[in-house]
Every structure is written in C-alpha cells, then in structure tokens.
Amino acid sequence: MPILKEVSGYIYPNEIELHWGILIVVYPYLTGLVAGAFILASLVKIFNVREVQATYRMALLTALAFLIVSPLPLLTHLGHPEKSFEIFLTPNTKSAMAMFGFVYAWYLMAVLLLEIWFDYRRDIILWEKKESGIKKWFHKLITLFSSDASEQSLTFDRKAIKLITIIGIPSAFLLHGYVGFIFGSIKANPWWSSVLMPIVFLFSAIVSGIALVLLIYMVVTPMRGKEIDMACLNKLASYLFYVMIIDFSLEALDFIHRIYESEESIHILSELVMGKLFVSLIVIQLLIGMIVPLLAIAGVKLFKAPDELRKQVYFLSALLVQVGIFSTRWNVVIGGQLFSKSFSGLTAYKMTFLGLEGLLMSLFLLLLPFIILYVLFRVLPPWEEMREAQ
C-alpha cells in the first residue's frame, strides 16, 4: 500500500486507513456556518443592533441555505440516505448522533422557517398583489394564502419573531455545540476528549458565520450597484474581532490544559502537532486563520484607516477566517485519527479526487448552499429597499 510509506512508528493494521474523511470535515464546517449566521441575525432582533439591520434577512437566508445542505455530507458518508428516516421512526435517546436528527428538524421547522415566514409574511402579501402568473401563486402558497396585513396581525408577527429568536439562540447553540459534544465525549481519543470541545466548536462556529455573512454582504452589495454601508461593515468586523478573541482564548486554554495535564498521550500529540499537522494547525489555523486577521482588523481600527482600505482588510480577513475555521475542522476530524491507540505511531490521510468520499463531492457540497442561497435571494429578496418599497 502506498500509504505505508508515510506511516511512522508502530500502528495497528486497522488504524492505517482513516474511517472518517473530508466529508466529515465538511459536515461540522457547514453546521457551524448555520449557527453563526443565525446568531448574527438574532443580534438585530434581541439586542436591537440597528447597524447590522441590512444583513438580518441575508443572515437568515444564509442560515437556511446552509442548513438544508448540512446533513448531506453525513448522509453521503453513510451511503444509505434512505435509512436516515429510521431515527425518527425508532428514536434512540442514548445516541447523540441519532438525536441530531431531532435537533436538526426542530431548528429547521420550528425556528428558522417560522422566523423567516413571520418576517416575510407582510412583504410577500404586498408583493403578490402586484404580481401575476406563477410567481403570484408561488408567493400565495408560501404565505399559506394569508392576506391579513393589518397592524394587529403585524404586531403579532413581531412578537412571534422575537419569541422564536429567543428560542432560536439556545437552539443554534445546541445545533453546533452537539457536534463538539460528540467529539468531546470520545474518551478513548485524547485529541478529542475535552470538556472545552463543545464550547470551542460553538465559538468557532459563530466566528465562521459572521465572517460568511460579511463576505456575502461585501460581494452582493456592489453586484447590485449599491454602496456598502460602512457603519454596518464596521459593526460586523467588530463582532468578528471580539468573537475571534474569545475563540482564540478558549483554544489557547484547551492547549495549555493539555500540556499541564501531560498525560501519556502528550508525546504522540506533540509529535502530531509538530509533524503531520504543523502546516494545517500552526501555519493555516493559528497564524493565517486567526492571528493575521486579528492583527489586521485591530490595525485598521486602531489607526483609523480610510474606508477603502478597511473594506479590503475586512474582506481579506473574513476570507482567511474561513480558511482557518475549515482548517480547524480538518485538524479535529483528520488529526484525531492520525495517531495509533498505542500512542506509538502515526498514519496518514490520502484524499481521493473522485467518488462519494472524494474532493470533488466535497467541493460540490460546499458550493451547493451558495446555489440555494442565490435561488432564495431571487424568491425572497432580503434587500432593505424591497421592504421600504411596500
């Protein structure tokens, strides 16, 4: 086997090839973007942050587009997607993975779809009055043939949105915290077994979600011929900066705690970090994906850089953050399988290009949410002027 050339030390035969590949890396990355985008949207409704109002609907639709795709990597990896419905028919409350199905269904139907429906209901009613043909009937259908746009009904909508948002924040925490919970509960693997794992996953999810909405806002706004609102952009960058600080602190605390404990696994983990994961963890995740964006955002804010420079720095920083967060998922999923249970050797991961577990399928699953998001933008325009035009 060609992979044997990259095995070092002693490793069991059944540990040479990894059981989880890049699809399992894509899965927590996508769910993290969902949670982060929704939490950003919640800031507008719960804390009344008016500067980021322009991104509220955009963040909701982004969360929906990525939520629709988020279970597909898991289903593709399992090979029998038709069997996924069995977790609803024969629920196993002792299985964290099985319970994800219920968390997912709750988040999709009871939180995200409801909030979008209440937020858009009045606008769609007014849109469909000016429309004709298929579009008119489509909008009628998604409002469930509601035609009441009275002030009393709008007051009810606003209260419903606020209530759903309050329920949605812990739901978003649960959606992504549970991914970290699954990894952190595997006691046999010292790379994953940490009580901080769910919290680290959660904050890195918020980081990635804010960065994604910032990127989409900066790309879509000029494409529509509109000016970027610098107050909104500055506020988004500030949120990104503060959450990155918390995320960085948590990851540093987890790392220091592992060194302080110095269990028998510390030597193989040190070898792993300084060897096979050096580029993906130290260079890409830590340096490029965390420290450089932090310093760049802090620099333009501290020295009061002009708007054009700020835009470039924010855009580049958000891109680097996405690379860093994806690298974080890679280092957790792939890194946690690279060392032997005997702590005596390291194996390697060889990624294929084609096939269900290959790079091409992963790229498709990463691009699919953007295609869905484009359709959602066409059907449910999130732009502020569309709301004001009613």
Q: How far apart are CA 336 and CA 281, in angstroms?
A: 12
- Name residue, tokens 């590949």: 21
CB neighbourhood size of 14 (10 A): 8
Pairing of strands 345-346, 8-9: antiparallel
CB neighbourhood size of 15 (10 A): 18
CA distances from 133 to 137, 147, 209, 381 (A): 7, 18, 37, 18
Nearest to 150 by CA among 117, 175, 125: 125
Q: How far apart are CA 179 and CA 100, in angstroms?
A: 9
pLDDT for res 242 = 94
> What string of pLDDT tens digits covers the 390 residues of the chain?
667 777 888 888 888 888 889 999 999 899 889 888 888 888 777 777 888 888 999 999 999 999 999 889 988 888 787 777 788 888 888 887 788 788 888 877 778 889 899 999 999 888 888 888 888 888 888 888 888 888 888 899 888 988 888 888 888 777 767 778 888 878 778 888 888 888 888 899 899 999 999 999 999 999 999 999 999 999 999 999 999 999 999 989 988 888 887 778 888 888 899 988 999 999 999 999 999 999 999 999 998 889 999 999 999 999 999 999 999 999 999 998 998 888 888 888 888 888 888 899 999 999 999 999 999 999 899 987 777 554
DSSP annotation of 189: -
Q: How far apart are CA 356 and CA 217, in angstroms?
A: 32
pLDDT for res 1 = 61
